Structure 1
Amino acid sequence: MSAGKEKTATEAADQPEKSRRGMNAEMPNIRSLLFGDQEEEWGYKRESENIIVGYGYKKFSKPPVIGKNPLLRSNTVIYNDVTIGDNLRTGHNVLIREKTTIGDDVLIGTNTVIEGHSKIGSNVSIQSNVYLPKNSYIEDNVFIGPCACFTNDRYPIRVKYKLRGPIIRQGASIGANSTFLSRIEVGEGAMVAAGAVVTRNVPPWSLAIGAPARIKALPAKLRVPNNI
């Protein structure tokens, strides 16, 4: 056998071992996050790069306070003056702006934007591509489906208007691709169907469906707590 053939055979024999090592290799234990303009040590799991915890939106703003066991995925940006409880999980490209308070056990999906000056309770699941405007208020045990869009300005840029985001009461469920006018309140346990355009308040334990949304009785089988 020629030297060239021997080399090829050796490389072929080594290939399974190299592949096995590659598959079983552990990810490096990277624990530093970009904290404003400096590196700080954080005692929690980092999923990937390009994470900013502590974006200084104004002079003398204070670093965010984050509880135990957060999992932040790539391109998550958390502004200063934010308070977050335990077990936060983010998807990729999540933005959480200033003056926002978030409780424990909250999931925020990929490409979701929380514009700030907002409050989110505990045990809340916010799916991907959700937009929450300034002055949003979300209570505990709420589910918000993908691509839901909330607004806070009834007459955009036309008249002087106090920005008021949604109020989503405890245990409500918001369907995918639903759209909300400003100042809408969704009552406790209520459900908004996918694709609904909500132009008025939704009473507790009722169903909003259609465009514009009509209010109907919530079926008995749906009058149960969210399983988040």
Structure 2
Amino acid sequence: MNVYIHSSAIVDHGAQVGEGTKIWHFTHVSSSAIIGNECSLGQNVYIGNHVSIGNGVKIQNNVSVYEGVILHDDVFCGSSMVFTNDSNPRSAFQRDKSINYQKTVVGRGVSIGANATIVCGVTIGEWAFVAPGTVIKRDIPPYSLYAGAPARQVGWICKCGVNLAFRGGHAKCKECDREYQLDQDRVTITKH
């Protein structure tokens, strides 16, 4: 297989790693993780059991992707951003080892900025953008732009990453000419 695994990285037996994927310094991939093709896992990344990562995903340094997280194709995770998987963590109380962690789903093409926090149990719609340092505690729609702690929607964003300005429910990207329709807080692409 055409996979690069740095000598300091640990990939547990049973993990599935796709063609062209690069796993860098001090990264640990757990045994039941599934990683797609052409991914890049930066320095000091942890991938937990039962994590599913699509193709073309880039995970920057110091990110832990815990059990229950699903990353679809082309997701970008900025340095030191955080996923959680337990909504009620307690150190003083023994948890049943068969705990079912809450599912967090990150849609295709989503970008999550450095130091953002994604609280478990949410779905981030495709091509959304989460600004650095943002705290996401609820579902966010496709093509939306969120910032702040707690997060609030500050706009809409094109598939190519440029802010969209809607007029009369329509927007055209000034960079790539894709066109969008906004109807009741839902954006759909009308021209690719």
Q: TM-score interval w.r.t. the shorter chain? A: 0.7 to 0.9
What residue identity is the alignment partner of 1:208? Y
Residue 3 (structure 2) aligned to one of 52, 70, 87: 70
Confirm or deny: 8 A CA contact 1:133 1:165 kept in the other structure. Answer: no
Residue 77 (structure 2) aligned to one of 136, 141, 144: 144
Aligned to 1:46: none
Aligned to 1:200: 138
Compute the RMSD of aligned alpha carbons: 1.9
Aligned to 2:186: none
Q: Report Cα offsets for 1:97-136 as digits up to 9, x if no partner.
A: 0211111100000001111111100011111001111121
Aligned to 1:114: 47
Deviation at 1:213, TM superposition (A): 0.7
1:134 matched to 2:67? The reply is yes
Find the aligned partners of 1:187 and 1:155 in 2 and give their Cα distance: 25
Work out which of the two has the higher radius of gyration on C-alpha atoms and give 1 or 2: 1
Superposition pairs of residues 1-228 of structure 1, within 5 angstroms: 68-157=1-90, 162-219=100-157, 221-222=162-163
What residue identity is the alignment partner of 1:140? D
Find the aligned partners of 1:90 and 1:162 in 2 and give their Cα distance: 28
Confirm or deny: 8 A CA contact 1:166 1:182 kept in the other structure. Answer: yes
Confirm or deny: 8 A CA contact 1:150 1:165 kept in the other structure. Answer: no
Confirm or deny: 8 A CA contact 1:181 1:199 kept in the other structure. Answer: yes
In the superposition, the TM-score normalised over structure 1's length comes to 0.65
Q: Report Cα offsets for 1:150-207 as digits up to 9, x if no partner.
A: 0010011368763124211001111000011111211100000000011111111001
Structure 2 spans left out of the alignment, 5+ residues: 165-172, 177-192
**Structure richer in helix, relative to its length:** 1
Larger relative contact order (Cα-Cα within 8 Å, sequence gap ≥ 6): 2
Structure 1 spans left out of the alignment, 5+ residues: 1-67
Find the aligned partners of 1:71 and 1:162 in 2 and give their Cα distance: 32
**Structure richer in strand, relative to its length:** 2
What residue identity is the alignment partner of 1:111? N
Deviation at 1:81, TM superposition (A): 1.8
What residue identity is the alignment partner of 1:128? N
Find the aligned partners of 1:147 and 1:153 in 2 and give their Cα distance: 19
Find the aligned partners of 1:80 and 1:90 in 2 and give their Cα distance: 15
What residue identity is the alignment partner of 2:150? P
**Identity, % of aligned positions:** 32
In the superposition, the TM-score normalised over structure 2's length comes to 0.76
